[in-house]
Amino acid sequence: MSIIKRWEHFFLSDAVAWLAAIAVGGMIFFLNVSLDLDAASTLFYIALVFMSADIFTVSVFLIVALGCLVMLSANFIANEGYLDQDLVAGFVHRLIVLAAITLLALRSKKASSLLRRNEAVFLGAQKLSRTGSVGIIIGREVRLWWSEESSRIFEYPLDVTPTIALVRARIYPEDLRIVDRALEQVANHQDFIEVEHRLVMPDGRIKHVQMNARPLSKHVGYIEYVGALMDITASKQSEEALFHSQAKLSEVTRLTSMGELAASIAHEINQPLAALITSGECCKRWINRPEPNLDEVRKSIDRIIQNSVRVSDVITCIRALSRHSEAQRTVERFDDVVSDSLALMQHDITFHEVRSQIQLGAPDAMIRADRIQLQQVIINLIINACQAMASVHDRARVLSIQTSVREGEAVLEIADSGDGISTEILPSLFDPFFTTKPTGLGIGLSICRSIIEFHGGRIWVSSTLKIGTRFVFTLPLERET
């Protein structure tokens, strides 16, 4: 226990409080009796009441206050003050003053202990939830303040006064522009500010924080914002771990199913092809004989036709497999399919630091579609858009998504502010296995086109270099049932 704590403990122990109160009270009583200074003694009693309200517990304080009242009365009786009319009036007056001050001191003591308790609960809650408070005041000069928990999040000593320079020193360099944008919003007196960014500690550890702030008071040339600063590192890490395992899982599933599919296609086609070669060679042998055996030749040709039909059947099956069956198409609300796909992509959009502008303008449009396939198309277009904007650093990364109904069709437009596509490669975009990415497969857009055409729609792209790319697809509307 520190010296100060020990001293406090010593001071607050009830026995010592008793002794101190009796000693001071006795001394005042003695002064009062011996020197006959009524007004001065009342002042001493008032001072004693105030003092004890500050340092003693409620029960000790009440006993001290009661003691003062008793001593004041005892002194009055001992001096036979009741014999004089004027002295009685003065005594009653002093008694009322002392009692009123006792009540007031008691009230303020209760209020301040409630305040202390609330503060302790508040600080405890901040520590538990890893949420601190922060504030910025913009007047003649810019001033910052923060709670203990905020200084712990920033890992500065508790007694350090925060400044913009200290805050910036902890911001992850790539996220400085996010913080600068938030400061601009503060300067523009925006009503609500929400930012999420990373911090980098002196030992290289990365923290993720989220801050929401609102103006507390503002008048001409002055504004104060208060905000909550949350350390979301743990939830970010688990979110990222989940995202990585999901991505890995879908990659493994895709490769496994593609590998399995390729193996089964090879097997299904190899057998009839081998039979075709054998039948062709037999046919040649029967014809090359000095006397060709036309019956055997006919039989071989029949086998060739049978095996060719088999190969063609296998290919028809593969087509059906890639297109799914008609039975999975149901009537869907177009905007719902789009917003569900967006919800699935929220993590990617945030991860790529992309601002999304969503305008769902076809609330009544119904379509007949395979929901999963359509989501696959939308997700693929969003992934491509986010990837196309990854290299953009000199302007805002904006993903704009709009739905509408035009000429009896439901329309979805997905536009990005990426670097665009050159006119030479634009016509090849939907070709299978066309890719410009080092690890791309180049089948995403060709699958998108086959799904949209299978649903009776159209898909196209337009692009301007250094401005961005816009993919549009349309689907026929279904009459609402």
Contact footprint for ligand ADP (CB under 6 A): 380, 384-385, 388, 416, 418, 421, 429, 434-437, 440-445, 469
Alpha helix ranges (H) inside 289-333: 294-323
Task: Detail the DSSP E strand segments found in 334-397.
Answer: 355-360, 366-369
CB 317 → ligand ADP: shortest distance, Å? 24
CB atoms within 10 A of CB 205: 10
Q: How far is CA 71 from CA 24, 87, 103, in A?
A: 11, 16, 18
Closer CB to ligand ADP, 189 or 466, in the complex: 466
CB nearer to ligand ADP: pick between 112 and 257: 257
Neighbours of 365 (CB within 10 A): 21
Contact 437, 387 (CB under 8 A): yes
Minimum distance, C-beta of residue 419 to ligand ADP, in the bound complex (Å):
7
Residue closer to ligand ADP (CB basis): 88 or 372:
372
Task: For ligand ADP, give the closer residue by CB, 193 or 388.
Answer: 388
Which residue blocks in 56-201 are alpha helix, DSSP H? Answer: 58-78, 85-129, 148-154, 164-170, 176-187
Q: How would you label 13-40 residue by residue, b for 16+ Cβ within 10 Å and e otherwise?
A: eeeebeebbeebbeebbeebeeeeebee
What one-letter code names the amino acid at 471?
Answer: F
Of residues 106, 102, 107, 78, the one with CA closest to residue 91: 78
Question: Looking at beta carbons only, is 217 or 436 nearer to ligand ADP?
Answer: 436
Cβ distance to ligand ADP smaller for residue 233 or 387: 387
With respect to ligand ADP, which residue has the nearer C-beta, 135 or 442? 442
- To the nearest whole angstrom, how small is the minimum distance from the Cβ of residue 447 to ligand ADP? 8
CB of 179 to ligand ADP, least distance (A): 29
Closest approach of ligand ADP to the CB of residue 342, in Å: 16
Q: From the CB of 403, what's the least distance to ligand ADP, in Å?
A: 18
- For residues 60 and 354, which CB has a smaller minimum distance to ligand ADP in the complex? 354
Buried b (16+ CB within 10 A) or exposed e, 134-154: bbbbbeeeeeeebbebbbbbb
* Cβ nearer to ligand ADP, comparing 250 with 293: 250
**Quick one: 396 exposed, middle or buried, by C-beta within 10 A (0-12, 13-18, 19+)?**
exposed
* Distance of closest approach, residue 344 Cβ to ligand ADP, in angstroms: 17
Least distance to ligand ADP, CB of residue 387, Å: 7
- Residue 226 tokens read as 């208060």
Q: Report yes or no: 464 and 419 within 8 Å, Cβ to Cβ.
A: no
Measured CA to CA, the distance from residue 227 to residue 133 in angstroms comes to 6
Per the listing, tokens 């929220």 go with 346
Instruction: Give min distance, CB of 439 to ligand ADP, in A.
Output: 8
Whole-number minimum distance, CB 319 to ligand ADP, in Å?
19
Residue 330: partners with Cβ closer than 8 Å, 6 or more residues away: 368, 369, 370, 371
Tokens 């696959």 correspond to: 376
**How many alpha carbons fall within 13 Å on the CB side of residue 285?**
9
Closest to ligand ADP by CB, 427 or 476: 427
